Amino acid sequence: MAEPKRIPDGMQVFSMVSGQARIEDEADFVIIGSGAGGATAARVLTDAGHSVILVEEGPYVPVKERGYDVWTGFRSSWRDCGFQVAEGRLFLPIIQGMGVGGTTTMNGAICHRMKPELHAEWVRDHKLPENLSFEEFSRIYDRVDQELQIAPAPEEVLGRHNTLLRDGLQAIGFSHNPIRRNVVGCQGSSRCIQGCPTAAKQSMDQTYLPFALRKGARLYAECRVSKIVRVNGRAGLVEAQFVSSPDRLKGPKATFRARRAVLLAASAIQTPLLLAASGIGKESGLVGQRFQCHPGISLLGEFEEPVRMWESVTQGYESTHLWTDRLKFETVSIPLDNAAARFDGYGKKLMENVERLGHLACWGVHVRSEAHGRIYRDFMGRTRIKYDMTDGDVVRLKRGLKLMAKMLFAAGAKTVMPGVHGLPKRMDHPDQMEALDQLDNSPNRYHGIASHMFGTAVMGADRKRSVVGFDGQVHEMPGLYVLDSSTFPTNLGVNPQNSIIAWSWLCSEKLA
């Protein structure tokens, strides 16, 4: 047996050790991935009395080992140390966690429900059935709100950084609200993306995984799945190998046998890669296709008075006022080493700028983009993400940036740093952002990131036009279910954590 590590309440995670040729285990269900989808499935299935094995590629990082700096957090718990990118005219970093708890351990704790208008679109355009009604999703949302203690960020931890956005939104007449977050006793330490240092964030490593392990589930970390194998015509075997993190040294091979089903919840990037490696995708041709995400751009505003964005919740305030126009605004309290990289100059000038870090606010806009990309492995086995924003996506981004500059100046910023190639490095009036309209629509003028991935194993009734059915089962391999956002027909325009949980819960209920 692999070497155990402790997680909350004395539970065990089995990690790689040397000196063993192979590890074998068997359960009713084998779940690949321990993030929002996989942990939820484990919670539901173990509560119903089933035996469960979870297999996670990344490591378990205890709260006490989470570092303050960005590099420590990225190196231990972010895929490719945060350097995973989508390739297009703009090389766009794709932000994704990799560890026990998945991205839930490293996100901003934002818990949005799917917009009812979007659900209606899925019903109309993608024929979503009655058993996936908005009422059914809402039933799960209500329960998860209680279990993960989801509530709006309280005033006492918003800090000046978040209340300034509230001032700016109010000044331009936009609706706004504190962000609903899955936290208990948040201290506003602004370290969500390094991993919460106080375990206040109710991420999967603090909630559903300990629940499942108390019920008897077994969790194997630092164990990379290579293939899902048919047994008697159904998904029945998972082949894997232990790979240490972050040095990537290979350890024992592992075989996990599923008596009832294999559940795949590895994300909209890793899920299609595993499906393809298991010989799935020839019938529809859609495995790894239709990749969608939310590209995001931030602006820095410098204020006369101190902002000290590190003394606030990482993301505590937002506006979905223009959701129907495919835009969402929110605070983004970035770590200081990241913020410093946005300054111009070097030497003495850079140090003078760094001294102003405490006066900066960082706000972001993300786009519910129209673009579709694809995920595949190249001939050397490397993951490739091809994605390019459309002209319409860039036009929306320009609009979002202009509006966000207005918010910053309306809130009292004396200077805004747009970070756009072709614009001045600093601006002292919102009208200067109108120059964006004179620039072409090439996305490589912008710095940004992308998060929230969707669509690469899309659900549907027609096996020629979809990868999985409306119960999550893969058309081409009975007994294999996909329980992550790769099944979503479109992106959401809001953070998907809650909807991934709801989708996984609904499918797991039926399996249970």
Could you report the per-residue pLDDT of 123-139, keeping only the tens digit for each? 999 999 999 999 999 99
Does residue 101 surpass a pLDDT of 70?
A: yes
Number of domains composing the chain: 2
351 falls within a domain: yes
CA-based R_g, the chain, Å: 22
- Nearest partner of 102 among 240, 278, 221, judged by Cα: 221
CATH number, domain of 465, equals 3.50.50.60
Domain boundary among 425, 451, 477: 451
Does residue 163 surpass a pLDDT of 50?
A: yes
Residues 461, 470: Cα–Cα separation, whole Å? 7
Same domain for 314 and 391: yes
Does residue 64 surpass a pLDDT of 60?
A: yes
What's the pLDDT score for residue 98? Answer: 94
- Nearest partner of 500 among 41, 193, 134, judged by Cα: 41
What's the pLDDT score for residue 17? Answer: 55
What's the pLDDT score for residue 2? Answer: 47
What's the pLDDT score for residue 16? Answer: 66
Domain boundary among 407, 422, 451: 451
198 falls within a domain: no
Q: What is the mean pLDDT of residues 191-197?
A: 90
Q: What is the mean pLDDT of residues 426-449?
A: 94
Q: What is the mean pLDDT of residues 59-86?
A: 86
Residue 199 DSSP one-character state: S
- To which H or E segment does residue 353 belong? helix 347-354
Q: DSSP string of 299-350?
A: EEEE-SS---TTSS-SS-EEE-TTGGGTEEEEE----HHHHHTT----HHHH
Tell me which of 19 and 258 has the higher pLDDT. Answer: 258
32 with 225: CB under 8 angstroms?
yes
Residues 52, 56: Cα–Cα separation, whole Å? 13
Same domain for 446 and 315: yes
What's the pLDDT score for residue 63? Answer: 87
375 falls within a domain: yes
Same domain for 224 and 319: no
Q: Residue 54: what residue type? A: L
What's the pLDDT score for residue 177? Answer: 98
Same domain for 436 and 323: yes
Same domain for 385 and 482: no
What's the pLDDT score for residue 212? Answer: 96
Does residue 194 surpass a pLDDT of 90?
A: no
Q: What is the mean pLDDT of residues 74-99?
A: 91
Same domain for 309 and 235: no
User: What does the block give as tokens for 447?
Assistant: 């710095």
Tell me which of 151 and 350 has the higher pLDDT. Answer: 151
What's the pLDDT score for residue 5? Answer: 53
What's the pLDDT score for residue 9? Answer: 54
Same domain for 298 and 283: no
- Nearest partner of 270 among 41, 13, 55, judged by Cα: 55
pTM: 0.95
Angle between helix 497-511 and helix 134-147 axes, rounded to 10 deg: 100
- Nearest partner of 243 among 225, 259, 219, judged by Cα: 225
Specify the range with the lowest mean pLDDT, choosing from 65-69, 117-121, 152-156: 65-69
- Nearest partner of 298 among 492, 455, 87, 95, judged by Cα: 95
What's the pLDDT score for residue 264? Answer: 98
For 412, list phi and psi in degrees, rounded to 5: 115, 5
Same domain for 340 and 483: no
Q: DSSP string of 461-489?
A: S-TTS-SB-TTSBBTTSTTEEE-SGGG-S
Same domain for 277 and 406: no
What's the pLDDT score for residue 10? Answer: 54
Residues 191, 311: Cα–Cα separation, whole Å? 10
Does residue 230 surpass a pLDDT of 60?
A: yes
Residue 400 domain boundaries: 151-193+291-451
Does residue 281 surpass a pLDDT of 80?
A: yes
Same domain for 492 and 388: no
Domain boundary among 451, 468, 493: 451
What's the pLDDT score for residue 420? Answer: 94
85 falls within a domain: no
Average pLDDT taken over every residue of the chain: 93
Does residue 266 surpass a pLDDT of 80?
A: yes
- If phi over 0 gives left and psi between -120 and 50 gives alpha, with beta otherwise, what is residue 31? beta
Does residue 74 surpass a pLDDT of 90?
A: no
Which residue do the tokens 């894997």 mark?
A: 240
Specify the range with the lowest mean pLDDT, choosing from 27-41, 261-275, 294-308, 329-343: 329-343
Same domain for 431 and 352: yes
**CA dihedral angle for residue 501, residue 507, residue 510, residue 512, rounded to 10 degrees:** -60
Could you report the per-residue pLDDT of 1-24, keeping only the tens digit for each? 344 455 565 557 887 655 567 899
93 falls within a domain: no
Handedness of CA 133, 275, 266, 52 (dihedral sign): positive
363 falls within a domain: yes
Does residue 150 surpass a pLDDT of 60?
A: yes
89 falls within a domain: no
Residues 290, 286: Cα–Cα separation, whole Å? 7
CA distances from 153 to 95, 114, 203, 407 (A): 23, 19, 16, 21
Same domain for 307 and 250: no
511: number of Cβ within 10 Å: 20
Q: DSSP string of 135-153?
A: HHHHHHHHHHHHHTTEEEP
The b/e string for 357-367 (b: 16+ C-beta within 10 A; e otherwise) is bebbbbbbbbb
Model confidence at 409, pLDDT cuts 50, 70, 90, reads very high
What's the pLDDT score for residue 350? Answer: 86
